[in-house]
Structure 1
Amino acid sequence: MTVRTPRTPPFRDPQLPFAKRVDDLLARLTPEEKVSFLHQFAPAVERLGLAAFRTGQEALHGVAWMGPATVFPQAVGLGATWNDDLVRRVGEAVSKEARAMRARDDRVGLNVWAPVVNLLRHPLWGRNEEGYAEDPKLTSAIAVAYTRGLRGDHPVYWRTAPVLKHWLAHNNETRRDTTSSSVRPRVLHEYDLRAFREAVEAGAVAGVMPAYNLVNGRPNHVSPYLREHLRTWTDQDLLVCSDAGAPSNLVDSEHYFATHEEATAAALLAGVDSFTDHGTDPANTVARVRGALEQGLLTEADVDAAVRRQLSVRFRLGEFDPDHDPHAATGDFDTPEHRALARKAAEQAVVLLRNDGLLPLAPGTRVAVVGLLADECKLDWYSGTLLHRSTPLEGLYERFGAERVEFAEGVDRIRLRTADGTFLRVPPAEAASDHVRGAEGALDPALLAGRTDLPPLTTDATGTELALVDWGEGVLTLRAPDGRYLSVADDGYVRASADQPGGWVVQETFRLEPHGSGHLLRHLGTGRHVCVAAEGVKVAEEDPAVFEPVVTERGEEAVARAAARADVVLVVAGNDPHLGGRETADRTTLRLPEHQERLLRAARTANRDTALVLVSSYPYAIEPAHLRAVLWTAHGGQAAGTALARVLAGDVAPAGRLPQTWYEDDSDLPDLLDYDIIGSRQTYLYFEGTPLFPFGHGLSYTSFGYGDLAVRLDEDVVRVSFTVTNTGRATADEVAQLYTRAVNPSVPRPRRELAAHRRITLAPGERADLTFEVPLSAIEFWDVSRGRWRLEPGPYDLLVGTSSEDVRLRATLTLDGEPGAPRPVRERGLNAADFDEQSGIEIVDRARTTGDAVAPAPDRTGELLYRDCDFGTGVTRVSVEVAGEGTVGLSLDGGPSLTELTLRTPTSGPYDYTTLTAELTADGVHDVHLRLRGPLRLARVGFTG
């Protein structure tokens, strides 16, 4: 027990409530000290005994960037488990390792920036690997589980403090700091906000991080939604941490504010509490805050509010109570339990998409494992360093024996001949450095790009045979026979100096560009061409070398040989998480790269018993009909290969489920920047086509029967009970899924919507009785005519099954709700953004700080529809509140135009609104149609009698 002496300040007294302790500490800080706390790297305050503190420690699927740590499957793989309890245990293990690593290295932070709850709306998003699902219910369930694990279960002290990323509507890397996501109110409330809300309301979230993009024309870092929504969901202080460099973007790239002082003040007033900008140097942030204070844009009370929320997190982490913090001595790191959990998570993430009786593999099967990822254990940008490594090839060797497994990587092997007849040569490893290779000759895992102590490439008469892989769209990697990737360091020389492609700017990728009778070799990291100089091969602006690729073996030839000798062929394909789709780079197609399609065709031609194993961060469009089996798993971390081999052998029955729709073709996708999932019929919620594989899909090695459906309404909760029986011969997991559907909705509603799920394990013949409870609030929709949630009366389907399309049980329940009513537009008018349908419209910011308006998309005529508008006994005039210049036309019920209001003289700025009026005679209830032309903003429409 702490004994408080007269000299012990109240903030050090663990017997006092945190709020009083925060008040006391805040009062002791000087104005200068408080301002300094607003940067990500808050300095120590020695006179009060405060240590330095930084917000931010990446922990998406393990502790990242801080060296060796247990690496779990990517987030999308954790989503594919559909197993809340498992994900909670993963979060618990990650937080324990963060604490253990912190004890050895104070650079490891306890304010963890995880998980990502952005919904996987569009499968071409480069950061697809970071999210859990396209569905808000599944995403929030997995996020709640992970944050509870990260937080720990102590009632007072948190093991780590999770921050959700990225607020809000963030699904594109293309121009991500300048594009605006146009999010109508229904999509905002029913989709994008929902995943954040349920996680925050669960009580295990310390804060959020705003995204780089704008929403409805306004940067997320000055979003009024932080105040209007986020902070109303909980009484707990929530810490809002900016994304890296985003505060400066408000002026530098977005040009939203004229000065950094204005931008900093606006972000702080909107709710940003910690500024992640200019790396570890706080000088710019401090100067901007001081400038904003001097200009009267901020008050000390505004600074206090942000610092208070920071201190609240530090108290919850036990920083000021080391003798009472139950997590202070946590030392669990790379334990047998963590290793077993990593394997279990990887096993449960495997999704069996198709199986024509080929799997599980029979004992004694001779297996050819081929493909670019067959002997790879890939990491992504948010991975820690592997302590253990397991590739598919290694897992199959371990499970089946090396004598029954044949390997062919399938890379093209080439020599690059220069114009003078010589070839590029890679100096041998022993001549490069003593520590390039370990004691047993294996590549040192610490081998990284950027080294300058290795000799650059040269040329000679024979050269070096290089492994060439085309990862799609001409993006190539080149690898020496000993496994070293060609890379370029800051000095511009080309060396074989990397064990894998990686880094924020990847330095291991090239492109062959036709040039005359040969090719130029462009280095993509620098944008420069490769040239041959007397001192070695380097990249430069001038004098590029012309190369002729001399192919010594095609990858498909090696694959065909191995496939012909095997009983079963496993083609392991997919992506490298640092290439193609990744942070800063969206994909452009769902198709597999041509190189990998060639390998798949070669294997299938040589052996009909071919299975495709996709190891990837996102869905692909493939042709499964000619394949005996198809599996998908996200990059599975340190145990990926062992887990995959156990599933292929039948030691573990696959039970992963797809967390997002797999589409047949690129033509099924909307534009990447179209965030209106209702209008463009996106995700399984609204998609009206036939998916390649539907949301929730996943097969098993056994079969399950469903029955005994019972539904009853108890006050505000629908209880759905049913049984699941393992009717097959193997113990296996099943994921039971419950969906709801409004049968006769008055507005477009989801075709079906996930309401609950549960993953269970059943032995052969075993039965489980399941009950799901669905609050009526989960069936409501956002009524734009009233600006709030509403339960519509009528029949609702309750659908139980094994995927969103495989429904086994069905019941219909008729609910009493609140009937719809016409919009009282004579009394209330129309807020422009509260439309029912739109075409060619963008939602934009009505003012810098708050409110929405609408505008025609560039070079488009915008169409807006507002249904069931009640004009009462009659109106005689219409008014529009507009800015810019252009025309607003109005008609009723799709008839001819009744009036046009034209703003011919442009207003002085986008927020300088003026009101135009015109005569209009109408009474009763009608649909209002508006047509917008020209660069104008419409904020509101009014009607008077």
Structure 2
Amino acid sequence: MSAVPAASAPAATVADPAAKVAGLLAQLTLEEKIAFLHQHQPAVERLGLGRFHTGCEALHGVAWIGRATVFPQAVGLGATWDRELLRRIGQAVSTEVRAFRQDARAVQGSDVYEKHTMVSLNVWSPVVNLLRDPRWGRNEEGYSEDPFATAEMATAYCRGLRGDHPTIWRTAPVLKHFLAYNVETDRAAIDVRVPPRVLHEYELPAFRGPIEAGVVAGVMPGYNLTNGIPNHVHPLLAEALRAWNPELVICSDAQAPSNLVEIEKYFPSHVESHAAALKAGLDSYTDNDANAQPTIERFTAALQQGLISEADIDAAVGRLLAMRARTGEFDPELDPYADIRADVVVCEPHAALALEAAKASIVLLKNDNRALPLDPRPGSVAVIGHLGTRVLTDWYSGTLPYAVSIADGLRTRLGADSVAAVDGADVVKLRAGEREFGPFVHNDWGTSVQCPVPVHTFQSTENGRYLTLTGEHDRQVEAAAQTPDGWFVKELWELHPVGEASAAGQVLLRSNAEHSRKYVRVDETGSLVADAESPQDATRFTVELLTSGTHEAVAAASSAESAIVVVGNDPHINGRETVDRDGLALPAAQESLLRAVTEANPNTAVIVVSSYPYAIDWAAEHVPAILWTSHGGQELGNAVAEVLTGAYSPAGRVPQTWYSAEAELPEPGDYDVIGSQWTYQYSQRKHLFPFGHGLSYTTFEYGDPIGTVALSHEGAPTVTIEVTVTNAGDIAGDEVVQLYSHAIDASVPTPLRKLQGFERIRLEPGESRALVFEVPAIRLAHWSELDGGFVGEPGEFEFAVGRSCADLPASVTVFCG
């Protein structure tokens, strides 16, 4: 059976959805329609309407339901620069969503029925927020810092989620998060100022592309305010989103409707705020979890007070019903996807696709003297680092069906005896007087904006569990957590030196959990409890070193022919939803480990497994080979091993700029990418790896491009660039061909380079391929606030083709009037 069954057109056609929705609206009572405005819509049995709710997370696989195929993080998918791959992944993900919805066997656990019946075919994905600031906590969720690349990748993924049936959608995608959402600190209160040019040239195109492509069912506003107005009541909901597609469902983010009053203080009452949001175009209210009563009461009062009309309610409910109709809910006998069952979840074809995606997303950042791939007979290899033996998930991951670590992947390809794995972290005990706790694997994860002191994890060597808060009121401290992955991360600890005694190594242990910032003490039973309000009430601990991770790593590296140091982040720590990073540096412990291993064995490669870029200046100068991959899902280790051993030639390209540690970045809330010279388009800061950068094991040559200008079928001027690319090496490989433009004599500041096209192609040794890029002249224009639209200035434009925004070996100048 095919893992991703294609939709065959049914013999009959779906009834007119507009007529269907109008008929339902006419039969629903006013009270029923008001209830439909909440995320959790009740069943209306007399009309044959079942329960429904908006929202199923499907960012890089089905999340929060059970075992599902886990693909690389979205930023990793962005690094593939491969539209067709994204479409196929979207198809696989939406097929698994259908299976969870339609077959209870797909769901694991005791609450199978509840999970199964409440799986929504309305998926909250993808995220099209631009990766403007690499310190953004949710960097892992976006595709690119470039609006064109983001729109193209999002459109491809949505096309897969939607399916290709002419009338019935496999799932109904919702884009997140409109508008200018790129900061987690005080995210529900921050007012992001976006100049008009930045709004129209940088921010809006990422949303407009997939919406106008007809593959998007809705949009979710962001928590923040934009130019003084909360996004959930912003005029651009109507003036932009609904102008592009009048049928779009606008679905709120969690608790955002109440935030309009409680955090943003923008309205004096919930009745007024909900009425204003409905008038602005918000259709579905994700508020107070599953409790719809407050939402119902607020809209009932707003109607009674004349703040809204029944027509306003009908418009919102009509759009919600139309979205449900698109998934075939009201015509089940005509649904071409109705036979999808549990056997497609974590099936072999999806696993193969996960491996393909993980390989395609890997970026070779540096490769001096062809340090990679490893010698065909590499002898012994030491894999060093906490992330070398682990596969980590993030907040929007599904449950891994299996996990292949980098060490495991190398053992499969090189043999178990050839690969040694060393964690690189210290093993310690916590001692308080005569009492001792541990031993623990101790990791220092560095700092974030929310926590200026380093946070630590302690993982028991006896049961593999993390030290965490447990029991009533999260007061007990035990090694009980499998991973640090809750909404409140309760496995993070701060170590505070104790005054003058710090020289003796005494520290106070304090919980870093947002809801319980208490100090730890040893109670009368000898147990650890986190309930001390002040340092004076806390127990003083000594961190006793049992095994030095660095010493073990150096010993392993010294005795091996080559060393692989794996560094990076845990997606739940110091860079995630609600938590921004405070900088770009590696955690100090990882930087120290990397330097020690490289000194012990110059034949060292670094693998950065992370949700975002790091300022790895030292490694860029001293380590011969560097790979980057996002957290790559279940097949991470196999993918990395294929690249390291040369079985696969890497072709990923970084989807955002990797800045140097010397680069002074603007403030996180500064969204003026033009004035502050943000992103590759305007930045003249020092960069380690420019936007679009990535190396290969083979060599590609570019011919001289040919540029012409002609009128399109619609009568608009279009620039056509033709270029031939040749694989001049001796192995097959992929090249990501990138086209950039630059206005030579513009009257206003314009991008140093602006991405206008890209294509990932595979070429055999000696093979050539001619590529044609068509660039509508409107994409060369700039936004004029005076004219209220895009203005194209006649003049010369340089079009350059190559491997990154900074490596463009071929160019042609075209006059466009």
Q: Shorter-normalised TM-score: what interval?
A: over 0.9
Partner of 1:178: 189
CA contact (8 A) 2:52 2:118 kept: no
CA contact (8 A) 1:67 1:385 kept: yes
**Aligned AA for 1:361?**
L
Answer 1 or 2: which has greater helix percent: 2
**Aligned AA for 1:676?**
D
* Runs of 5+ consecutive residues of structure 2 not aligned to the other structure: 1-11, 105-115, 448-453, 712-716
**Aligned AA for 1:480?**
S
Identity over aligned pairs, percent: 51
**Offset of residue 14 of structure 1:** 6.2
Cα distance in 2 for partners of 1:497, 1:222 equals: 43
Instruction: Say which SS state the counterpart of residue 88 (structure 1) adopts.
Output: helix
Partner of 1:67: 66
Partner of 1:807: 808
Partner of 1:608: 602
**Aligned AA for 2:754?**
E
Partner of 2:253: 243
Cα distance in 1 for partners of 2:404, 2:816 equals: 52
Aligned pair partner of 1:682 in 678, 683, 699: 678
Cα distance in 2 for partners of 1:72, 1:307 equals: 34
Aligned pair partner of 1:208 in 212, 219, 229: 219
**Offset of residue 490 of structure 1:** 4.1
Instruction: Say which SS state the counterpart of residue 229 (structure 1) adopts.
Output: helix
Instruction: Say which SS state the counterpart of residue 265 (structure 2) adopts.
Output: coil
Aligned 1:75-86 pairs, distance under 5 A: 75-86=74-85
CA contact (8 A) 2:521 2:532 kept: no
Determine whether 1:540 maps to 2:531.
Answer: yes
Cα distance in 2 for partners of 1:140, 1:72 equals: 20
Partner of 1:906: none
CA contact (8 A) 1:151 1:160 kept: yes
Partner of 2:389: 375
**Offset of residue 406 of structure 1:** 1.1
Determine whether 1:45 maps to 2:44.
Answer: yes
Cα distance in 1 for partners of 2:664, 2:759 equals: 30
**Offset of residue 666 of structure 1:** 5.9
CA contact (8 A) 2:14 2:331 kept: no
Cα distance in 2 for partners of 1:93, 1:14 equals: 25
**Offset of residue 515 of structure 1:** 1.6
Cα distance in 1 for partners of 2:130, 2:612 equals: 13
Aligned 1:396-545 pairs, distance under 5 A: 396-418=410-432, 420-424=433-437, 464-473=438-447, 474-481=454-461, 482-491=463-472, 492-516=475-499, 517=501, 518-525=506-513, 526-535=516-525, 536-541=527-532, 543-545=537-539
**Offset of residue 325 of structure 1:** 0.4
CA contact (8 A) 1:590 1:666 kept: no
What do residues 550-576 of structure 1 show as CA deviations (whole Å, max 9, x unaligned)?
Answer: 112222111100110111111000000
Cα distance in 2 for partners of 1:144, 1:421 equals: 62
CA contact (8 A) 2:17 2:322 kept: yes
Aligned pair partner of 1:306 in 307, 313, 316: 316
Aligned 1:734-883 pairs, distance under 5 A: 734-816=735-817
What do residues 447-498 of structure 1 show as CA deviations (whole Å, max 9, x unaligned)?
Answer: xxxxxxxxxxxxxxxxx32111000031000011131111112421112111
What do residues 854-885 of structure 1 show as CA deviations (whole Å, max 9, x unaligned)?
Answer: xxxxxxxxxxxxxxxxxxxxxxxxxxxxxxxx
Aligned 1:186-197 pairs, distance under 5 A: 186-197=197-208
Cα distance in 1 for partners of 2:630, 2:622 equals: 23
Instruction: Say which SS state the counterpart of residue 687 (structure 2) adopts.
Output: coil
CA contact (8 A) 1:589 1:666 kept: no
126-135 or 474-483, which deviates more: 474-483
Aligned pair partner of 1:390 in 393, 396, 404: 404
Aligned pair partner of 2:120 in 90, 109, 127: 109
**Offset of residue 234 of structure 1:** 2.6
Cα distance in 2 for partners of 1:281, 1:245 equals: 11
Cα distance in 2 for partners of 1:756, 1:219 equals: 34
**Offset of residue 328 of structure 1:** 1.1
Cα distance in 2 for partners of 1:368, 1:284 equals: 58
Cα distance in 1 for partners of 2:209, 2:94 equals: 21
Instruction: Say which SS state the counterpart of residue 115 (structure 1) adopts.
Output: strand
**Aligned AA for 1:710?**
I
Cα distance in 2 for partners of 1:123, 1:259 equals: 37
Partner of 1:642: 638
**Offset of residue 421 of structure 1:** 2.4
Partner of 1:272: 282
Answer 1 or 2: which has greater strand percent: 1
Cα distance in 2 for partners of 1:205, 1:747 equals: 34
Cα distance in 2 for partners of 1:259, 1:465 equals: 53
Partner of 2:109: none
**Aligned AA for 1:533?**
D
**Aligned AA for 1:734?**
E
Instruction: Say which SS state the counterpart of residue 659 (structure 2) adopts.
Output: coil
Cα distance in 2 for partners of 1:128, 1:746 equals: 34
Aligned pair partner of 1:352 in 364, 381, 396: 364
**Offset of residue 16 of structure 1:** 3.2
What do residues 47-86 of structure 1 show as CA deviations (whole Å, max 9, x unaligned)?
Answer: 1111010000010000000011000000000000000000
| Residues 29 and 14 of structure 1, relative CA distance in 2, 3 Å threshold | farther
| Residues 735 and 15 of structure 1, relative CA distance in 2, 3 Å threshold | closer
**Offset of residue 15 of structure 1:** 5.2
What do residues 350-377 of structure 1 show as CA deviations (whole Å, max 9, x unaligned)?
Answer: 0000001110011221211101211110
Aligned pair partner of 2:346 in 331, 334, 337: 334
Partner of 1:98: 97
**Offset of residue 21 of structure 1:** 1.0
Instruction: Say which SS state the counterpart of residue 577 (structure 1) adopts.
Output: coil
Partner of 1:619: 613
Cα distance in 1 for partners of 2:129, 2:575 equals: 16
Instruction: Say which SS state the counterpart of residue 814 (structure 1) adopts.
Output: strand
CA contact (8 A) 1:472 1:580 kept: yes
Aligned pair partner of 2:707 in 708, 711, 714: 711
Cα distance in 1 for partners of 2:782, 2:133 equals: 22
527-536 or 605-614, which deviates more: 527-536
| Residues 490 and 240 of structure 1, relative CA distance in 2, 3 Å threshold | farther
Cα distance in 2 for partners of 1:532, 1:620 equals: 38
Partner of 2:688: 692
**Aligned AA for 2:57?**
E
Aligned 1:133-144 pairs, distance under 5 A: 133-144=144-155
Cα distance in 2 for partners of 1:777, 1:190 equals: 11
TM-score by length of 2: 0.92
Aligned pair partner of 1:166 in 177, 201, 209: 177
Partner of 1:845: none
Determine whether 1:577 maps to 2:574.
Answer: no
TM-score by length of 1: 0.80
What do residues 758-799 of structure 1 show as CA deviations (whole Å, max 9, x unaligned)?
Answer: 000111011111111111111111012211111111100011
Bigger CA radius of gyration: 1
Cα distance in 2 for partners of 1:268, 1:639 equals: 44
Aligned pair partner of 1:259 in 256, 265, 269: 269
**Offset of residue 669 of structure 1:** 1.0
| Residues 130 and 666 of structure 1, relative CA distance in 2, 3 Å threshold | farther
Partner of 2:7: none
What do residues 124-148 of structure 1 show as CA deviations (whole Å, max 9, x unaligned)?
Answer: 0000000000000100010000000
Determine whether 1:152 maps to 2:140.
Answer: no
Superposition RMSD on alpha carbons, in Å? 1.1
CA contact (8 A) 1:653 1:732 kept: yes
CA contact (8 A) 1:14 1:321 kept: no
Instruction: Say which SS state the counterpart of residue 373 (structure 1) adopts.
Output: helix
Instruction: Say which SS state the counterpart of residue 71 (structure 2) adopts.
Output: coil
196-205 or 507-516, which deviates more: 507-516
CA contact (8 A) 1:657 1:696 kept: yes
Instruction: Say which SS state the counterpart of residue 706 (structure 2) adopts.
Output: strand
| Runs of 4+ in structure 1 over 6 Å off | none
Instruction: Say which SS state the counterpart of residue 220 (structure 2) adopts.
Output: strand
